[in-house]
Structure 1
Amino acid sequence: NPSWSPDGQRIAFASSRTGNFEIFTMKADGSDVRRLTNHKALDYWPVWSPDGKRIAFTSNRDGNYEIYLMNADGSGLRNLTRHPAQDNFAAWSPDGKRIAFISSRAGGHDVHVLEVPGAR
C-alpha cells in the first residue's frame, strides 16, 4: 500500500517491521525511513494529501477501523470519522478539502465523503 508524496520525493507505507503495523515514510531511494505512528493498534493504507502536508490513514486504535489524519511528520493526529461502522481506504479530493472512504455504515460497503477540518 505505498503512496507517493505529490512531489515524488517520499513514499508513505504501512509496515510490521516493528512487530505491529505502523505508518512510515522514506525517501524515494529507500533511505531516511521515518516511523510516523507508534501504537498497539493496526495502522494501514496511508495516502498523502494533494499539498503533501498531511497523510490520511486507517487505524483500529479506537476499537474499530476509522479514518485518521496527521501531519506529514506524524504530529497532529486526529480521528476524522468516530463512527461504530468500519471506515477504510481514504482517498483525497484533488483540492484537498474532502476525503472519500469506504464505510459499512449502511450495512454494505459504500462510499462516504467527509470535509477535512481546517482545509482551505
Structure 2
Amino acid sequence: MMGPCLQRGLWGIGLNGLLIAVVLAFSPLLPAGRYLAYNVWLNPQQEIYLLDLQRGLAHSLTQGRVSAGRPVWSPDGRQIAFEGRDRGGSTLYVMDQFGKNLRRVVEQGAGNQYTPVWFVDGSGLYFRSVPGDGEVAFRVNLDGTGLAPIDVYNYEYLLPHEYDPTRFLMAGYHDGSEGIFLARDQTDRLERLVTTSLLFREHPQWSPDGRQIAFISWDSQKTEVYVLNADGSDFRALTGDGVLKGNLSWQP
C-alpha cells in the first residue's frame, strides 16, 4: 500500500495444485538473490510462489497444503517462514526454499501467530501473538523448543528496516509526469529512475547486491511483479498471469 503523502505530490514507499506462471522477461545476470517469494491469492486460500529469476519460471511452493501468508527468507536464504492459516487461526510454518520439509514450528501455547522475524543465526523465530485479550510477542527455536514471551515493544525493534534511508524509493507525480524516483540521503534532490503510471501495491525490494529493484504493481484488475536496474534501466515485467499477488520477499 502507498505510504503517507509527501511533498511535491510524491508517495513514500515504506512499511512495511502446481500452477506454472508465465514470465515475460528475466535477467541472466543475478549472482545474488536468484529467487523472489510472494503470495498469490487463489480463492479460497493463499499460496506462496517462488519465482526463479534465472530460469524465468514461477510455481507454488505450498501447493494447497496450507493457506500461507507473509513469506520471510532465513538469513542464509535456504528456508522460508510464513503464517499458515488453519484450524481457525494463524500458525507459524517453515519449509525449505523449494517447498520441502514443511512443518509447524509452534504446536500450542502461543495463540495466533503473526509476522515472523528470523534469529540472526537462523536457528529460530520471533513473532507476534494474540493469545486472547491483548497482544504479546514470543521467541522460539525452529524445533519448537524454547518458547518464551518477550516484551512486545522490544519485538518492534526486531522488525526489518523498511527502507534504506540513503536510497529512499518514491512513486508518484513530479516534474510533469509520473514515475519511480530515488531520493538520496533524504534530501530534496530526486533522481528519476523510470517514467511509469504503475501503482505500487507495497514497498519495493532492493536486491541483495543493491543492483536491482523489484516491486508488485497494483490496479483494480491484476497485479504483476516488475524489476528494474538501480539506475532505472531495463524496466520490465517478470510475470504476466494477472493473479492477485503480495508480500514480495527477495532471497538473501
- The TM-score with structure 1 as length reference comes to 0.80
In the alignment, which residue of structure 1 is the partner of 2:105? 80
In the alignment, which residue of structure 1 is the partner of 2:203? none
- 1:106 Cα offset (Å): 6.2
Secondary structure of the residue that 1:117 maps to in structure 2?
coil
Secondary structure of the residue that 1:60 maps to in structure 2?
strand
**CA distance in 2 between partners of 1:72 and 1:43 (Å):** 14
**CA distance in 2 between partners of 1:108 and 1:29 (Å):** 45
In the alignment, which residue of structure 2 is the partner of 1:96? 122
Amino acid at match of 1:37: T
- 1:91 Cα offset (Å): 0.9
Where in structure 2 are the equivalents of 1:10-49 lying within 5 Å? Answer: 10-16=35-41, 18-19=42-43, 20-28=45-53, 31-39=56-64, 41-49=66-74
Question: In 2, are the aligned partners of 1:42 and 1:59 still within 8 Å (CA)?
Answer: yes
Does 2:133 align with 1:107? yes
Question: In 2, are the aligned partners of 1:86 and 1:104 still within 8 Å (CA)?
Answer: yes
In the alignment, which residue of structure 2 is the partner of 1:59? 84
- Provide the aligned length of Structure 1 versus Structure 2: 111
Q: Deviations over 1:46-88 (max 9, x none)?
A: 1011111111100113432000011111011101112261101
**CA distance in 1 between partners of 2:135 and 2:35 (Å):** 31
In the alignment, which residue of structure 2 is the partner of 1:4? none
Question: In 2, are the aligned partners of 1:54 and 1:70 still within 8 Å (CA)?
Answer: yes
- The TM-score with structure 2 as length reference comes to 0.40
In the alignment, which residue of structure 2 is the partner of 1:3? none
Amino acid at match of 1:113: R
Write out the 4+ residue segments of structure 1 that deviate beyond 6 Å after TM superposition.
none
- 1:11 Cα offset (Å): 1.0
**CA distance in 2 between partners of 1:107 and 1:28 (Å):** 43
Amino acid at match of 2:73: W
Q: Deviations over 1:22-49 (max 9, x none)?
A: 0111134893102101227521001011
Identity %: 26
Structure 2: any 5+ residue segments left out of the alignment? 1-31, 145-252
**CA distance in 2 between partners of 1:67 and 1:41 (Å):** 11
Amino acid at match of 2:83: T
Larger Rg: 2
